[in-house]
């Protein structure tokens, strides 16, 4: 008879690191290191987000970059001499470590880069920036609600938004050899997102740019959006 004390189960707490795509691409790690070293061209979305912030910030405002990768959006703010306090948050420790290693030489304290998931996020900041994150999650409602709760002044998003939602869960073909993981590639309904933002007390929701991009053989219109809290 089987030993009643012995167990055939194996249970651990490393599931996020094991099954998240972000820690399984040497190509991404090298790219993010190059961006931290200021050796890569500035992302268009980062330039747009920085320009949006420039019209909204006051000296000393805090900016939280959610899903920051290695924190290279810091360069977009610093190169424009925007007088803000930059913070970055990302769940992937390998990417955060890249920023902590490189960005202090450019003036960003290592402790400003936080390894944490959106679910762990609490507190208050003046501005939240989130670029190309929500479209790769299972849905946007809970994380976006958290952004709107903690932002005192504005939330800037760059996600896949269009008329009519589409949800896809596909194999990520850009990972290291031998890694077989899937990723959400979602397109959220722009009217639904607009209503959701307005119901949380934000107004002045507007599109500032639109580009047509292709990823994983799916075509979607990526809109840069900004929302600002209504006066209370």
**Beta carbons of 66 and 111 less than 8 angstroms apart:** no
**Beta carbons of 37 and 102 less than 8 angstroms apart:** yes
Domains of the chain by residue range? 15-229
Give 55's pLDDT tier (boundaries 50, 70, 90): confident
Give the number of residues written for the chain.
232
How far apart CA 10 and CA 114 sit, in angstroms, is 30
The CATH superfamily holding the domain 15-229 is Vaccinia Virus protein VP39 (3.40.50.150)
Residue 119 Rama label (left phi>0; alpha psi -120 to 50; beta) = alpha
Tell me whether strands 151-162 and 169-171 are parallel, antiparallel or unpaired: unpaired
The least confident of 51-60, 183-192, 202-211, 216-225 is 216-225
**Tokens (6 digits) for 147:** 């952004």
Q: Per residue in 70-107, pLDDT tens?
A: 999 999 999 999 999 999 999 999 999 999 999 999 99
Question: What SS3 class is residue 125?
Answer: strand
Place of tokens 């002045």: 204
**Beta carbons of 63 and 129 less than 8 angstroms apart:** yes
Q: Per residue in 6-32, pLDDT tens?
A: 678 888 888 888 888 988 999 999 999
**What are the backbone dihedrals phi and psi of residue 96, each rounded to the nearest 5 degrees, phi first?**
-60, -40
Helices (H), the chain: 15-19, 26-36, 44-54, 73-78, 93-102, 141-150, 190-199
Instruction: Return the HEC string of 151-216.
Output: EEEEEEEEEEEECCCECCEEECCCCCCCCCCEEECCEEEHHHHHHHHHHCCEEEEEEEEEEEEEEC
**Tokens (6 digits) for 11:** 């249970």
How far apart CA 187 and CA 167 sit, in angstroms, is 6
Q: Provide the whole-model pTM.
A: 0.86
Q: Per residue in 123-139, pLDDT tens?
A: 999 999 999 999 999 99
The mean pLDDT value of the chain amounts to 85
Place of tokens 């691409």: 25
**Beta carbons of 155 and 126 less than 8 angstroms apart:** no
């Amino acid at each position: 008879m089987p030993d009643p004390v012995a167990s055939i189960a194996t249970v651990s707490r490393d599931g996020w690191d094991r099954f998240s795509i972000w820690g399984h691409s040497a190509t991404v790690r090298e790219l993010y290191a190059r961006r931290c070293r200021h050796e890569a061209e500035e992302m268009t979305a980062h330039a747009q987000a920085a320009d949006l912030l420039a019209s909204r910030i006051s000296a000393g405002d805090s900016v939280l970059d959610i899903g920051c990768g290695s924190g290279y959006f810091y360069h977009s703010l610093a190169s424009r001499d925007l007088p803000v306090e930059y913070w970055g948050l990302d769940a992937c420790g390998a990417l955060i470590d890249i920023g902590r290693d490189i960005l202090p030489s450019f003036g960003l304290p290592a402790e400003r880069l936080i390894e944490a998931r959106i679910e762990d996020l609490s507190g208050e900041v003046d501005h939240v920036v989130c670029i190309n994150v929500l479209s790769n999650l299972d849905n946007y409602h809970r994380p976006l609600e958290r952004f709107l709760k903690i932002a005192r002044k504005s939330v800037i998003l760059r996600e896949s938004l269009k008329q009519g939602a589409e949800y896809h869960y596909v194999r990520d073909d850009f990972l290291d050899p031998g890694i077989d993981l899937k990723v959400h590639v979602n397109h959220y309904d722009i009217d639904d997102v607009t209503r959701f933002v307005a119901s949380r007390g934000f107004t002045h929701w507007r599109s500032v740019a639109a580009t047509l991009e292709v990823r994983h053989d799916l075509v979607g219109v990526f809109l840069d959006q900004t929302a600002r809290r209504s006066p209370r």
